[in-house]
Structure formats: structure tokens, C-alpha cells
Amino acid sequence: MDGDNQSENSQFLLLGISESPEQQQILFWMFLSMYLVTVLGNVLIILAISSDSRLHTPMYFFLANLSFTDLFFVTNTIPKMLVNLQSQNKAISYAGCLTQLYFLVSLVTLDNLILAVMAYDRYVAICCPLHYVTAMSPGLCVLLLSLCWGLSVFYGLLLTLLLTRVTFCGPREIHYLFCDMYILLRLACSNTHIIHTVLVATGCFIFLTPLGFMTTSYVRIVRTILQIPSASKKYKAFSTCASHLGVVSLFYGTLAMVYLQPLHTYSMKDSVATVMYAVVTPMMNPFIHSLRNKDMHGALGRVLRRLFQRPK
């Protein structure tokens, strides 16, 4: 209990990935620019989908929720990163660190589950088009999203509560930009073997199960598309999946670089990979999803015209 009380009253120092003032200035402007682009891109996606009745379909319903998740995700980490890069006081309280970790884990999990649901939506649309309206009813879409939220909240709470049983002693310096599970476990002076085992086991289930589901869905989708006789219809079917596949590849690629490895091998190069999935992926999602989507182009154009239209 003494260790727990000590942890609760302690602070961590988020020193970032560089202590050089010049590099910190570069990082500040880089992250500020990326944050503003991410916020603007995801807000525009949400506004475009909500304001255009033609986009009120399951695919865009889940896309809007993915954008909302990414918006919440970057707001959980980047503002604190920016403050630390400009401030001499880089401290974060124990409670603040656990809160940041909770939302980080929950929102990454939610991103992952929404991507899996979006793959299912594409599978039904391409492989069972005649049953799409009934199979992807509004009630089912809300239920699927609620399950995604419920599981994400539970998983984030589970890992955060496990970490409260860890005792921290000695210097609590985090050479990192935000509180991450692997980083905090490396600072622990108590035995973390059980927690690390739970982390790996639950992480594999939470992330690899949806990945396997998405892989199976796309195998069936590809088989169905290859049976379409018309080349133009094949291209159209592939194009509806291309953006989703791009986001999935970016998300899992950066995530695997960080977490599918032993705890003791975690190093600075993994900090770069974590920044990729924590900053770059949410920033790129709006661009990937709207790059080759004519419906989204039209909706975004109408939103921008309304925003910049001068009142008469």
C-alpha cells in the first residue's frame, strides 16, 4: 500500500524525445501544424457527412465516428506535448498520466474496432448487395458502434487499473511525448511480469482478432470482385475499399512496430513509430478517405462554400 500511495502522490516528467532547445522548437511547430491539420481535416469530414443527406449511409456513419475518435485522440496527447515543448516545467501528475493513458488505450482500441466494422460494411455491400439495406440497418449500426465503445472503455479501464498496482521509485523521467503503457512499465520498480503478460495477451486478442476478421472479409471481397465481368464495375468496387485498406495498413503498420516486441527492446526508434500512429495516422485519415471519393469531394466542397460564403 505504501508503494501505491507513493505513486498516487508523485509526478512524472515528460522530457520528450529531445532536450535540445532548437530541436524542441522545430518539434513544437511541426506538432502544432500537424494538430491543426488533423483537427481541420476531421472536423470537415464530420461536417460534410452530417450536412449531406446522400452521405447518411452506414459507411459514412462509421467514417464520421472514426474522424470523431481521431479528433478526440489527438486532443488527448498533442496539446500537452505542445505545452511541454514550450515550458520549463514538464511535470504531469500521477492522476494526469493515468488519465492520458486511459484515453490513449481506449481510443486506439476504438479506432481498431471501428475499422473492423467498416470492413464488415464493405463485405456486406460488395458480397451481399441485395441484403445490404436490411443487413446494415440503422439499429444494427448503432448497436455495433455501441459495442465498439463499450469494449474500448472496458479495455482502457482494465489496463489503467492494472497499472495502479505498479510501484514507481527512483527518477520518474519519461523521455517521451506522452504517457504510454510500455514506457511506464519500464519505470516500475515492482514486478511487472503478470501485467506485461496480461498486456500482451489482451492486446493480441483486441487487435489481432479484428485484423483477422478484416483479412477474411477482404479475401471474400476480392473473390467476389474478380467474378464481376465488367472492368468498370470491378474498378468501382475496388475503389470503395482502397481508402479503408490504406488506413488499415497505416494503422496496423505503425502499431505493430511498437507493441509486437518484448518490453526490454523498447527504444527511441519506437518513439518515432508511436508518434506515427498517435499523430500522423489521425492526420492522414481524412485525406485518404476523401482522396478518390467523388461523393466526399462534393460534400466537402459544399461545406467549404457555406463556410466562406459572404453573407448578403
Classified as helix, coil or strand, 11 is: strand
CATH architecture of 2-308: Up-down Bundle (1.20)
Q: Please report the pLDDT score of residue 310 as a whole number.
A: 54
- Tens of pLDDT, residue by residue over 216-241, are 999 999 899 888 888 887 887 787 78
pLDDT at 269: 54
Ranges under pLDDT 70 in the chain = 1-9, 18, 170-171, 258-274, 291-292, 310-312
DSSP state of 91: E
Q: Could you tell me which residues are beta bridge partners of residue 69?
A: none
Q: What is the predicted pLDDT for the residue at 271? A: 62
The answer to whether residues 169 and 217 touch, using CB atoms and an 8 Å cutoff, is: no
User: Which one-letter amino acid corresponds to residue 164?
Assistant: T
What per-residue confidence (pLDDT) applies to 270? 56
